[in-house]
Amino acid sequence: MASLTQDLLDQGLELRETHISRVFLAEHVVYKLKKPVNLGFVDFTTLERRKQFCDAEVALNQRLAHDVYRGVVPIVRDANGVHRIDAAGELVDWAVVMRRLDANAAADALLQSGQLTREQIARLAEQLTQFHARARCDQETAQFGELTVIEANVRENFEQTRANALAFISREEFAALERWQLDVLQSRRAEFALRSTHGRIRDGHGDLRLEHCYFESDGRVQIIDCIEFNERFRYADVSADIAFLAMDLTWHERPDMSEDLLASYARASDDYDLYALVDFYASYRAHVRAKVSSFVHDDASTTSETRTRVAADARKYYLLAAACAREPVAEPKLIAVGGVIASGKSTVADALAAEIHAPVVDSDRTRKHLLGVNPYTPLPDAAFSGAYAADVTQRTYDELLRRARVVLRSKRSVIVDASFRERSARQAALALARSLGVRFLFVECATDAETTQRRLAARAQRPSVSDGRQDLLSAFVASYEPVDELPQGAHVRVDTALPLAETLARIAREIGELA
C-alpha cells in the first residue's frame, strides 16, 4: 500500500486520509480508495469487498449528489511495476471516481468564512426532507428503529471507547454519559416505537456533516459521503440523520444555526415529533465522532501534530455528547401568534422564529397534513365549513398543541401560528404552558382595513399555504372573540402595518429576549 500511495503521489496527485480511506485529488477529479482495514463495524480487508463497497458508494451517493459520483475504476500495476489508475496492468485495487468539488463551497468552509446563511440552512433542510421522503422505508429498514437495535449500537459505542475514553474525559463524565443515554432508551420507549410506526425509519445518509454538504454556484446543494459500508449505521430514524448535522453545527460553535436547521426540517417534513429524540441522537452522534477521533489518535501511523488535534476534537465531542442532557440556558416559552385573516401573523411568527431560533407550528400546514393534502393545495370551502368546519378546526388546534408540547418538552421554545379567534383556543394554549411550567405570551396581530385588502390582493396572485380570502374576511372578523380572558403580561397587541423591526421590538419588550 505504501508503494501504491507513493506512485500516485509521484503522478502529481494530492493525498487526504481518513481512518478508512485514502483520497487522491487531481485538478478536476478525485479518486477514493478504501483502506484494507477491519475495525469491526467496517471490513475492507479483501479486494472483492472493496469493489463491492466502491460500487455501493457510487449508487448510494447518487441519491443526494448529482453529477459528482462518476463510477468505479481499477488501480493496476503496469509492466514497469508502477501503480496507475484506470490503465492496463495487473489489478491491485479499486477506486471511486468523483468530480472534484470546490472546497470553498463546503458548508464548514462557508461557516468558517462567515458566509453560511440561514437561507442556505433552510435549503439544506428542504433537500434532506425530500431525500428522506423518497428514501427506502420497509420492514427491513423498520427493524433498525427497534429499541434493541438502537441499544446495541449505543452499548457498542461505549464498549469500543471504554478503554481509551479516559485519555479525553474523566471516568465520572464517561459513566454519566453512558447512564444518560441508556436511561433515555428506557424512559422514552413509547417515543422510539412511534417513530417506526409513523414510517420515520429510513435508508438515510448516516454521516451528515458540514464538510459533506456543498453549495455550488449554480444553486445546487450536493451532499456526499453517505455510509455505504454498514447498513445499520445508515438505516435509522430520520431524526438521527438530521441530529448529526445539527450536532456538527453546535460543534462548530453555531447552536443558533443548529436550531434553525431543526426548525426548518420539522416544518418542511411535518415532523415535529423528532424533537422528542433529537437530543439523544445528537449525543449518540457526538459519541460516534469522539470514537472516530480516538481511533485516529491511537493509530500508530498518525503524526504527532494530527494526534494533538484529534485529541482535542475527541474531548470536545465527548463534552458535546454530555451537554445534550443539560438544562437549557434560556427558559422555554410558548408564544402564540394570532389575529384575523391577513393580519400579518405568519410574517410575525416567522420573523420571531428567526430571532429566537425556534420552530413554528402553524395551523395552515397542520390542517392540511391532517386532511392529507399538500400545503399549497387550496381548500376553497366557505367560512367555517368543509375543511374549516368546527370539528376539523378543533382537531387542528389539538394537533397544534400536541406538537407544541413535544417541542417544549425538549426544553425549547415554540411559536404557534394560528388565528386563535376563540377564547377557548387561547385558554388551551395558556393551560399547556402552565402545565409544563413555561412562560406564555399571546401576540395579537392587527392592522388597518387598507393594509388587509392590499395583502389579500397580493396573496391571490401567488401560491399560498393560507386559504384566507377576501370573501371570508367579514365572517371571520365577526366571529373573532375579543382577548379579555388572559392574565396580565400574557397578551400583547401589535400593529403589523408598522415596520417589522418595530413589531419585533415591541414583542421583545414583552418576552425580554430579543432586545
Paired with 69 in beta bridges are: 98
- 347 assigned to some structural domain: yes
Among candidate residues 323, 354, 374, the one where a domain is terminated: 323
Q: Residue 509: pLDDT above 50?
A: yes
Query: What 3-state DSSP class applies to 504?
Result: helix
Please report whether residue 328 resides in a domain: no
- Residue 161 within any structural domain of the chain: yes
Helix (H, G, I), strand (E, B) or coil at 483: coil
CA atoms within 13 A on the CB side of 212: 19
| 283 in a structural domain | yes
Helical H segments across 162-303, by residue range:
171-187, 189-197, 231-234, 238-251, 255-269, 278-298
- Sheet with 439-446, strands from edge to edge, namely 360-362, 414-417, 333-339, 439-446, 491-495
CA Rg value for the chain: 26
Closest CA to 130 of 238, 272, 247: 238
One domain, residues 463 and 347: yes
List of residues 6+ apart from 27 with CB closer than 8 A: 100
pLDDT band at 240 (very low <50, low <70, confident <90, very high): very high
Instruction: Quote the CA–CA distance of 8 and 1 in Å, as a whole number.
Output: 11
Q: Is the pLDDT of residue 408 over 90?
A: yes
* Residue 441 and residue 426 in one domain: yes
Give pLDDT tens digits for 127-142.
Answer: 999 999 999 999 999 9
**Domain shared by 384 and 489, yes or no:** yes
- Report the mean per-residue pLDDT for the chain: 94
Under the banding of pLDDT at 50, 70 and 90, the label for residue 24 is very high
pLDDT value of position 1: 64
Q: How far apart are CA 418 and CA 492, in angstroms?
A: 15
User: Which of 278, 303, 323 is the last residue in one of the domains?
Assistant: 323
Band (463; pLDDT cuts 50, 70, 90):
confident
Do residues 173 and 316 both lie within one domain? Answer: yes
Using an 8 Å Cβ cutoff, are 334 and 414 in contact?
Answer: yes
Host domain of residue 359 = 333-511
Asked whether the predicted pLDDT for residue 381 surpasses 80, the reply is no
Residues 147, 286 share a domain: yes
Question: At residue 190, does pLDDT exceed 60?
Answer: yes
70: domain CATH number is: 3.30.200
Asked if 307 and 339 sit in the same domain, the reply is no
Mark whether 354 and 315 lie in a shared domain: no
What does the pLDDT look like over 242-256, one tens digit per residue? 999 999 999 999 999
pLDDT score for 515:
39
Question: pLDDT digit string (tens) for 88-124?
Answer: 999 999 999 999 999 999 999 999 999 999 999 999 9
Predicted confidence (pLDDT) at residue 514 exceeds the cutoff of 80: no
Could you read off the pLDDT of 432-451 as tens digits, one per residue?
999 999 999 999 999 998 99
Do 38 and 135 fall into the same domain?
A: no
Q: How many CA atoms lie within 13 A of 285 on its CB side?
A: 30
Q: What gap in Å lies between CA 244 and CA 233, rounded to an integer? A: 12
Three-class SS state of 461: coil
- Residue 262: pLDDT band (50, 70, 90) is very high
Last residue of a domain, one of 100, 130, 156: 100
- Looking at the domain assignment, is residue 159 inside a domain? yes
User: Does a structural domain hold residue 210?
Assistant: yes
C-alpha cell at 248: 456538527
CB 31 within 8 A of CB 13: yes
- Say how many Å lie between the first and final Cα of the chain, rounded: 59
Contact by Cβ (8 Å): 29, 99: yes
- In percent, the amount of the chain with pLDDT more than 90 equals 83
**Per-residue pLDDT, 37:** 92
Q: What angle do CA 248, 253, 254 make, to 5 degrees?
A: 75
Report residue 223: phi and psi, to 5°.
-125, 120
Return all residues near 308 (Cβ < 8 A) that are at least 6 apart: none
- Asked if residue 458 has pLDDT above 90, the reply is no
114 and 94 together in one domain? no
Q: What is the pLDDT of residue 513?
A: 57
Tell me how many domains the chain contains.
Answer: 3
Domain presence at residue 171: yes
Burial class (CB in 10 A: 0-12, 13-18, 19+), 198: exposed
If phi > 0 it is left, if psi is from -120 to 50 it is alpha, else beta; for residue 422 that is beta
- Asked if 334 and 416 count as a contact pair (C-beta separation under 8 A), the reply is yes
For residues 309 and 368, state if they share a domain: no
Residues 247 and 142 in one domain: yes
Q: 120: exposed, middle or buried (C-beta count within 10 Å: 0-12, 13-18, 19+)?
A: middle
Do 209 and 357 belong to one domain? no
- Within a domain: 416: yes
